[in-house]
Structure 1
Amino acid sequence: MDSVAFTSMLKASIMHWKQQGKKGVWIKLPIELVNLIEPAVKEGFYYHHAEPEYLMLVYWIPETANTLPPNASHRTGVGAFVMNENGEVLVVQEKSAKMRGIWKFPTGVVEEGEDICEAAVREVKEETGIDAKFVEILAFR
């Protein structure tokens, strides 16, 4: 889309949204339409977050406190304490260059939308090949 035509349509849309009493507007721009980012920002939109295939822009219309949720600012990690029927605890050696050789519990990152309990079981399987059964959360920080 041409940026001049987009700007014209965006200005008309903003006026329409204001008349409708809308509060927050989200624009998900595919990465191929990068030429439309500057005109949107000039009209008051701001960056919310970016992904490899798109950029999300938002606009808060009323002159009240903005209640649009912020983007995620963290990732969740898990560590698994695995003990067999003989009371033996499972540990693995770190492979990353910085901590190579350090003994630790199996750990990893929870994938987007993944249940934290399932993530712990998955990480144990990925790092050791062992099928573990989730019992309980021992700590959360």
Structure 2
Amino acid sequence: MKRTSIFLAGVLVLALASPQLVIADEERPSSEKITFLVIYRQGPAWPQGKGLSDLPLNDHGKYMISLYAKGLMKQAGPLTDDTGGAVILEVSSEAEAKAIVADDPAVKTGLFVHELHPWAPVAWEEYLKRNEPGSE
């Protein structure tokens, strides 16, 4: 547990040290995308004792495909503990992210509840390059 806390603290320090990662919506150029992490969990309509693969998610799947086709969803998939899923959105604003999630058929029907978080993925490749021998 202590190692995890130290690792997460290090990630936070690296993220905060990168000024391009945290920009307020008002300061962000309109063409720049904001990344959001959506975590879906069991909603009130999730049938008791059923796993994710037992749910009627065809409309949700079609919706995810449409978001991917529009370039709004970058990755998505189920949680392997069978309790929900996660989605990475790249959109123009928090309002757009909220509208996308609210329009998800699985959210509308109550199969899923969600958490929406602005997210700053770290460009680890850049840190790797900076820390390679001879890169000083």
Q: TM-score, normalised by structure 2?
A: 0.25
User: If you compute each CA radius of gyration, which structure gives the higher value, 1 or 2?
Assistant: 1
Q: TM-score, normalised by structure 1?
A: 0.25
Higher helix share: 2
